[in-house]
Amino acid sequence: MTLSDELSNSTIFPKGEELPEFLSKYFSGKVWVSMLVGMDNEFNCPIGNSRT
């Protein structure tokens, strides 16, 4: 098991999916995002967790 896998398994939030390249320009290095709350009609406020 790699260090990345160990850290992913020991945190509260999952590692998520790698951020698409067109959004990666706003970050340095690789970024993973996991959406915690999706878009809905009532609050219109998606919430995600990102990791570098």
Beta strands, E only, the chain: 17-18, 32-37, 47-51
Q: Domain residues for 19? A: 3-51
For residues 8-36, average pLDDT: 82
What is the number of structural domains in the chain? 1
Which band of pLDDT confidence, cut at 50, 70 and 90, is reported for residue 33?
confident
Q: What's the full length of the chain, in residues?
A: 52
What is the distance between the alpha carbons of residues 33 and 15, in angstroms, rounded to a whole number? 7
For residues 17-46, average pLDDT: 86
